[in-house]
């Protein structure tokens, strides 16, 4: 066993010493996490919808292991489905479209700060990176509808393009409000500022409402699911897809739903932190010496604390996702003209007013000398402890 641990440590040090291998390892870990999350989200979607609509069968299906058994049954069914291409379809766009939707959904996960020490790629322009990546799926959806040689698929693809373009702007303005208030595009630093200055979250609650509303439209969830309205378009842009190509759209939608919830937690709800309560509990209840913790050296932080931060982030994300599911299975579907009018005539002006409000709050905070301390994530824990010691 000791020799095995030595080999594992040697391999880990080798990976950590090479940037390319470290990035590849982070991508593999994110992919595994993403696939695991989708299993839980599929099960959760069935249970929440069954509970709200009083469907007795789906509530009981699967038992305690339903999130594994039900999702694996769905995956097996899709694997066994024949991969078909309609006659007259444009071959290469038809095959490429599902991956243009899936890859951005996967790439976006790389900037999520799962914990204070577990961030796959904590790049300095994380929010800008997501804004760029999230604009790609609209091309895949439009290509899928156009290449399918089906008028219903074409209508679904055009609806997708119109809806996503309409709601990308309010979504970006909501994220920009958090960027202005915290003064950084780095997701880890945004969480760190919320950790030190919990009261800033109060001023971003309107931004949170705008972000979640636009986010539901971005992932085509009811009442904004017009791109795949079964009552009008059979299945929308993915009508002609089967087997694993259909499953790729399916996987992208559910993973994007969790990502929107996780990003909302990151920007507006404190991320992995409990706004300083976690450090106070570790220091005064568990008796840990938090002054010795250094986020630049994760080995100084107990594994239990790292796992706790990760659990906080995941639980917060699933709570927000449950709220989105509750809205989905409660609200009726809107017409396409209502969806677009709401995006351009209601949500966009509200997002602009909210941006002005947050800018004024940021100006007031700066003038009263209580501007958020913009530190690198490696400096947060020592500073928080030092501030507590000075108050005492």
Give the residue among 35, 36, 37, 56 at the shortest CA–CA distance from 47: 56
Q: How far apart are CA 137 and CA 8, in angstroms?
A: 38
pLDDT digits (tens, 9 = 90+) for 302-321: 888 888 889 999 999 999 99
In whole angstroms, give the CA distance from residue 192 to residue 240.
Answer: 46
Q: What separation in angstroms does the CA of 242 have from each of 27, 53, 104, 155, 230?
A: 27, 28, 21, 19, 16
| Confidence (pLDDT) at 376 | 38
Q: Are 145 and 237 in contact (CB under 8 A)?
A: yes
Q: Does residue 6 have a pLDDT over 80?
A: no
Residue 293 φ/ψ, nearest 5 degrees: -75, 135
Confidence of residue 384 (pLDDT cuts 50, 70, 90): very low
pLDDT for 318: 94
- How far separated are the first and last CA of the chain, in Å rounded? 47
Burial class (CB in 10 A: 0-12, 13-18, 19+), 12: exposed
- Compute the mean pLDDT over every residue in the chain, rounded to the nearest whole number: 81
Domain spans in the chain, listed from the N-terminal domain onward = 1-70, 81-391
DSSP 344: I
Separation between Cα atoms, residue 136 and residue 121, nearest integer Å: 20
Quickly state the pLDDT bin for 387 (edges 50, 70, 90).
very low
Question: How far, in Å, CA of 194 to CA of 368, rounded?
Answer: 18
In this predicted structure, what is the pLDDT of residue 251? Answer: 86
Q: Using the Cα atoms of residue 51, residue 334, residue 106 and residue 247 in order, give the sign of their dihedral.
A: positive
Report whether pLDDT(150) > 50. yes
How many other β-carbons are positioned within 10 Å of the β-carbon of residue 9? 10
Longest dimension (CA), the chain: 75
Determine the pLDDT at residue 1: 58
The DSSP code sequence of 40-71 is HHHHHHHHHHHHHTT-HHHHHTTGGGHHHHHH
Mean pLDDT of 20-41: 84
- Rounded to the nearest 5°, which phi and psi values hold at 370? -120, 35
- The pLDDT value recorded for residue 295 is 67
What are the φ/ψ torsions at residue 36 (nearest 5 degrees)?
Answer: -65, -40
Q: What is the mean pLDDT of residues 56-75?
A: 75
Residues 188-244 pLDDT 10s:
888 888 887 778 888 889 999 999 999 988 887 777 777 666 666 567 788 888 888
Neighbours of 251 (CB within 10 A): 22
Backbone angles phi, psi at 96, to 5 degrees: -80, -30
């Amino acid at each position: 066993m000791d020799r095995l641990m030595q080999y594992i440590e040697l391999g880990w040090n080798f990976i950590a010493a090479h940037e390319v291998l470290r990035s590849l390892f982070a991508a593999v870990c994110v992919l595994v996490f993403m696939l695991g999350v989708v299993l839980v989200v599929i099960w959760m979607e069935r249970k929440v919808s069954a509970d709200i609509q009083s469907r007795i069968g789906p509530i009981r299906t699967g038992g305690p292991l339903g999130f594994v058994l039900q999702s694996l049954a769905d995956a097996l069914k899709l694997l066994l489905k024949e991969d078909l291409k309609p006659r007259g379809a444009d071959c290469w766009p038809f095959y490429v479209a599902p991956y243009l939707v899936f890859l951005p959904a996967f790439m976006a996960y790389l900037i999520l700060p799962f914990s204070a020490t577990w961030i796959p790629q904590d790049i300095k322009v994380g929010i800008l990176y997501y804004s760029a990546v999230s604009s790609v799926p609209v091309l895949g959806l439009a290509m899928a509808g156009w290449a399918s040689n089906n008028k219903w698929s074409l209508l679904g693809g055009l609806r997708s393009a119109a809806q996503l373009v309409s709601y990308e702007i309010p979504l970006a303005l909501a994220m920009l409000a958090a960027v202005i208030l915290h003064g950084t595009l780095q997701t880890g630093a945004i969480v760190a500022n919320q950790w030190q200055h919990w009261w800033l979250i109060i001023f971003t609650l309107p931004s949170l409402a705008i972000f979640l509303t636009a986010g539901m439209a971005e992932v085509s969830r009811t009442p904004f699911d017009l791109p795949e309205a079964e009552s009008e378009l059979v299945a929308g842009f993915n009508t002609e897809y089967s087997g694993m190509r259909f499953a790729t759209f399916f996987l992208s939608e559910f993973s994007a739903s969790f990502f929107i919830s996780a990003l909302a937690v990151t920007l507006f709800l404190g991320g992995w932190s409990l706004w300083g309560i976690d450090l106070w509990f570790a220091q005064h209840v568990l008796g840990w010496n938090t002054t010795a913790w250094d986020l630049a050296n994760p080995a100084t932080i107990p594994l239990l604390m790292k796992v706790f931060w990760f659990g906080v982030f995941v639980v917060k994300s699933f709570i927000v996702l449950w709220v989105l599911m509750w809205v989905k299975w409660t609200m009726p579907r809107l017409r396409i003209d209502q969806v677009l009018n709401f995006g351009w005539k209601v949500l966009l002006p509200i997002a602009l007013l909210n941006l002005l409000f947050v800018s004024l709050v940021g100006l007031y905070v700066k003038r009263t000398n209580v501007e958020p301390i913009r530190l690198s994530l490696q400096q947060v824990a020592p500073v928080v402890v030092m501030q507590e010691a000075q108050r005492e």
